[in-house]
Each structure stands twice: as C-alpha cells, then as structure tokens.
Structure 1
Amino acid sequence: MKYKGMKVVGLTGGIGSGKSTIANMFSKLGVPVYIADDEAKKIMNEDETVKNEISKLLGEESYIEGKLNRPFVATAVFNKKSLLTALNSIVHPAVKLHFDNWKHKQKAPYVIKEVAILFENGGHKQYDYTILVTAPKEIRIQRVLQRDHITREQILARMNNQWEDSKKVPLANYVLKNDKLEDIWLQVNKIHNILML
C-alpha cells in the first residue's frame, strides 16, 4: 500500500553539479530514489512499443541487434529540435507511466525523482517539492572532464543547453551547494528531516 500523503520530490542540477552523488546520499538515508535517465535508457532498450515508435521516427538504424544505437540517435537529433521533441514525446510519457507505477509500490513519507531537466520545461510544477544541486562552474567542468573524458568545449556546449543556476534557484524549494563534500551531508540531512515531517 502507498504511504498516505507520500510527497514526490524532484531532484535536479546542471551537468557536473553532483546530483547523482546527492541522490545516492538520500538513498543511503532509506529514501526511494528513481533515476529518470537510467530508466529512460532501459525503456528505450526493452519496451517494444517505444522501440517501434523510435524506429518509425528515426529509421531502422536506431537499433542494432535489438539495442538502442545511441551514437546514431544522438547524431540524428543533434541540432534538429523537431526530431528531439518528437523523440521526447515518445520517451517521456513512457517514463512517466513507469515512474507512477514504481511510486505506488513505495512505502515512504517521500520519494525522489532525479531528472536532468526540470525547470527548463516547466516540469517542476508536477512535484510537491524540488531540490536544486549547484556548484561553481569551474568545479562542474573539472568533474565532467574527469568523469566523461570529453573536451571542455563539449561540456560548455552541454551547459549552454541548460539554464544558468541563477535562473533556477528562485524556482527551487531547496538549494544544495555541492562545492565542499564535508558539509553536503549536513545539508542533505537537514532537507531529509524537513521532508520526513
């Protein structure tokens, strides 16, 4: 049975902000956490209806031996906003349905859904609360350089597709400053205690 009055909390942050680290901290506190990007990848690889629709939209090259051809799909939608919008209109409803089913199986005062884009598309209005993870731009760039082994220019191009933190902060219920790891636990615990009430 679903917890009475369960709250749904959206967790987001720009590339390199450390939102996955924060999601993991909430998970260690016993909070059910749903990572939307990971689930979207699974759905694009496993849901036959979604696979058929993506193949119709982008062509049969979208899949190789039943698995999503990620480089092909990324290239196909890169700089083609109409194709990206069409792809999102296939994947996002499937992820939303999957999340709703997952949420109803949880027994907790609140659950967290970690998403890359939240405020940019007005998605924050669907949540009871939102948490924004921020970090100084240079720290974020260094984190992504170490993690993804891509160029500084590629990172900056991705950053340019997301809003600046200054635009997102006024829309968030809670802001986690993730620049010094030693006090991040204090911030996470403080928010957790409030959300548990």
Structure 2
Amino acid sequence: MIVLGLTGSIGMGKSTTARMFLEEGVPVHDSDEAVHRLYSGIAAPLIEARFPGTVVDGTVDRERLGKAVLGNPDALRDLERIVHPLVRADSESFLARHREAGAPLVVLDIPLLFETGGRERVDRIVVVTAPAEVQRERVLARPGMTEEKFAAILARQVPDAEKRNAADYVIDTGAGMDAARQAVRSLIAELAGKSGG
C-alpha cells in the first residue's frame, strides 16, 4: 500500500484536492476532520483542563480556543501536545484498516506535514499550490479572517517554495479545478502502476 502525504499552505486548495482523491475512490484521512471529531470527543476534557472555559456542551469552542492560543507560542505548543498524538493515533488506525482491506493507495491529508515532521509517515508527498495572489484572495475571503491572522498563520508554515522543492509531486490549483482533477487522476494512475509492480 502506498501512503501519499497531501499537504499545502493555507488557501492553496488542499481540501478541494483531497475531495478529488476521494471522488476517485482513494481513501483519505483528513487531519482537520479528525481534529473536529476529537474536539467533540476525547480531546475535549484534556483541552478544557489546560484551557478552562473553552469547552461548551462537551465540544471545544474553536473561537474561544483560538483566543486562548493566538499569539501565545507556549499555549499553542501545549495545545499541539494534546492534539497531535490523538490525530496521529487516529491516522494509524485508518492506515491499519485500509492495509488490512488491501487498499493499493491511501492519502493522509496533513496540513502541517513538513512542520510536524510527518515525512517519515508517508511514502510520497504531494504539495498543493497556487499563485500567492490567488492564495491571499481565497484566505481573506474566509469568514473572520484578517490580514493579521493570515500573516500569523503564514509565519508558522514552511514557505510554499520550500514545500514544492521537497515534494515528490506538485498539483497547482491556480489553473482551475479541471486541471487539478486531471493532475489527481494522472497521479493516481502513476501510483497504481507503482503499487501493482
């Protein structure tokens, strides 16, 4: 089974690209979706213990949590110490299930793959990219996003150019969805050939 790591900076079209893999029948483990589940499950009491007042009705309130950690590197590190191992365990059970089912290819959608040392967990890396002005436009169109927040997020991410240089494959979503979908299909075909051999 080939484990393909999918990553890309904020606003590059990673989630859309992950959906394209799913639509082509490739199992995808979405780290963001896993965090969402964990925030309503086992992570909630752990986060509440460290950041009191951030859990409402058994679910982490992302806005309250954001206020507690934004601009506070120590708090952010504490949050990552709670969340990252849980997401990792979730992805390990995903891999085990699909390995047992005989899947030839799976995708681990890891937003901070390079930042969190996720390289050793995958066989190949695909980086989703787009021109900087397209990225900026997409991100600033998000509800509640500000120039300041965008700058803070970018500061924590490995620069796009470095990610592309370290990638095995690059998918450019700036050229439109049809081109991106075609790139996904070509990549699946190429990797299917490799897993068959």
Partner of 1:80: 72
Partner of 1:145: 140
Q: Are 2:91 and 1:99 aligned?
A: yes
Counting aligned pairs with the same residue, the percent is 32
What is the CA distance between 1:138 and its match in structure 2? 0.5
* TM-score in terms of structure 2 length: 0.88
What is the CA distance between 1:149 and its match in structure 2? 5.3
Q: Is the 8 A contact 2:18 2:109 kept in 1?
A: yes
Per-residue CA distance 1:37-71 (angstroms, 9 max, x = gap): 11112112112xx3222122112x12112121222
* TM-score in terms of structure 1 length: 0.88
Question: What amino acid maps onto 2:109 in structure 1?
Answer: E
Q: Are 2:53 and 1:40 aligned?
A: no
C-alpha distance in 1, partners of 2:55/2:36? 13
Question: What amino acid maps onto 2:68 in structure 1?
Answer: A
Runs of 5+ consecutive residues of structure 1 not aligned to the other structure: 1-5
Partner of 1:58: 51
How many residues are matched? 189
Q: Are 2:184 and 1:191 aligned?
A: no
Question: What amino acid maps onto 2:10 in structure 1?
Answer: I
Shift of the 127–25 alpha-carbon distance from structure 1 to 2, 3 Å rule, reads same
Q: Are 2:61 and 1:69 aligned?
A: yes
Q: Is the 8 A contact 1:141 1:152 kept in 2?
A: no
SS at the partner of 2:29?
strand
C-alpha distance in 1, partners of 2:144/2:44? 29
Runs of 5+ consecutive residues of structure 2 not aligned to the other structure: none
Q: Is the 8 A contact 2:44 2:59 kept in 1?
A: no
C-alpha distance in 2, partners of 1:76/1:147? 21
